[in-house]
Amino acid sequence: MPATVELRDVRKSYGASDIIKGVSLTVAPGEFVVFVGPSGCGKSTLLRMIAGLEEITSGEVLFDGNIVNDLDPARRRVGMVFQSYALYPHMTVEQNIGFGLKLAKKPAAELKARVEEALRVLQLTALRHNKPSQLSGGQRQRVAIGRAIVRKPNVFLFDEPLSNLDASLRGQMRMEIGKLHQTLKNTVIYVTHDQVEAMTLADRIVVFEGGYIRQVGTPMELYERPANRFVAGFIGTPTMGFLETVAAHGGVDGLALSLAAGQPPIVTLPVSGPLPSGTPVTLGLRPEHCRISDPDTAALVGTVLMLERLGADTFAFVDLPGTATPLAVRLGAQERGVSPGQRVGFDFDPASAHVFDAEGNSLSSTAC
Ligand code: ADP
Ligand code: MG
């Protein structure tokens, strides 16, 4: 049965260093939740606390409403799959998958039935007699998942299971894990620093930074309504561009912004609540909401630094005054003739722009 997993103000410190600084979250039964965040932000530590492999400094972890803080990992009914999956090299695929059940002294008939089921679900039946050395990286990772599946866990915990695989295999395994979840309907908590994995697999994504949750939401909620600049910059490829501006005088119809105090506004955003003139405001612009235009009439003029041709899409990276990093623009079919070094106008759709205050919190009226 898929379990509910609840975290209540969970904290973790190693000596004087606070790693997890108070995390509260409820994962619904059967939900696929992905933890993302930069390396070192505490994702693995939190996952290991849920598994029972790491002591909880304070707070509570609950499975189906019961506090499991002091429950032995083996009794939590979690299946864990790590990045480095140590398979037994001298055992076949089916022996590797069944080994945990054998140790647990499961009856032979049950062991056989569960291993058969795992082989079938993971499409490993034809490879059942192979040793790990006779498998590809993806097949080995499937065996590691098989070892977790046969124990019929209530909760699956994955810690960057695909990061050792090459890009094409990662894409393929990503799809397989997604399909597997549709079949098994377990509760899954999946850690990754790969936002494509997070966006494709998650029912909900939890974005971590520095030991805190920065936002929780569906992939599209995070993409369309990032609560802060960190989430805005973390989700989306190419990444959201940021333009530093200041609130200008006027702007009765919305928020007028200039590149610097005293300069004419470059745009008026349909955002309620005027800000005092001179307030710093960061504009967040997605590549698909930006356009290049005629430099003689545009409010912003910059230089194309480079082009990224991905086949279906071409992105131009435009260097603008007031930007630390060039802004990505998705080019329309007729604009793909631009070349690096070219002077271009830069326009964007004001209604789609995100607005952040000096602390990086979203001021956009659509933000949650
Ligand atoms: P992530 O999985 O997000 O990359 P981790 O959870 O592995 O991050 O680590 C979070 C932080 O905790 C890191 O700064 C790491 O150095 C620290 N850390 C992890 N384990 C220990 C430990 N046993 N003792 C001290 N510090 C640790
Ligand atoms: Mg980790």
Residue range 101-135, pLDDT digits in tens: 999 899 999 999 999 999 998 889 999 999 999 99
Average pLDDT for 267-286: 87
Q: Does the CB atom of residue 280 touch ligand 1 within 6 A? A: no
pLDDT at 324 over 80: yes
Q: How confident is the model at residue 151 (pLDDT cuts 50, 70, 90)?
A: confident
Q: What is the structure's pLDDT at 98?
A: 95
Nearest CA to ligand 1 atom 1: 40
Q: How confident is the model at residue 366 (pLDDT cuts 50, 70, 90)?
A: very low
CB 264, CB 256: distance < 8 Å: no
CA 40 – ligand 1 centroid, Å: 6
Name the closest ligand to CA 46: 1
Element (H, E) at 119: helix 108-121
Q: Does the CB atom of residue 182 touch ligand 1 within 6 A? A: no
> How many C-beta neighbours within 10 Å does residue 90 have?
10
- Ligand 1 pocket mutation, candidates 23, 39, 44, criterion most atoms within 8 A of CB: 44
Q: Does the CB atom of residue 14 touch ligand 1 within 6 A? A: yes
Nearest CA to ligand 1 atom 16: 40
Instruction: Specify the pTM.
Output: 0.91
CA 44 – ligand 2 centroid, Å: 4
Residue 311 CA, distance from chain mean position: 24
Query: How crowded is the C-beta side of 49, counted as CA atoms within 13 Å?
Result: 27
Q: Does the CB atom of residue 321 touch ligand 1 within 6 A? A: no
Residue 341 CA, distance from chain mean position: 34
Instruction: Choose among 260, 323, 261, 264: nearest CA to 290.
Output: 323
Average pLDDT for 145-155: 90
Query: What domains sit in the chain, N to C, each tagged with a CATH number?
Result: 5-233 (3.40.50.300), 238-356 (2.40.50.140)
Ion ligand 2: residue ranges with CB closer than 5 A = 44
Q: What is the structure's pLDDT at 273?
A: 67
Instruction: Choose among 260, 273, 281, 335: nearest CA to 304.
Output: 335
Q: What is the structure's pLDDT at 368?
A: 36
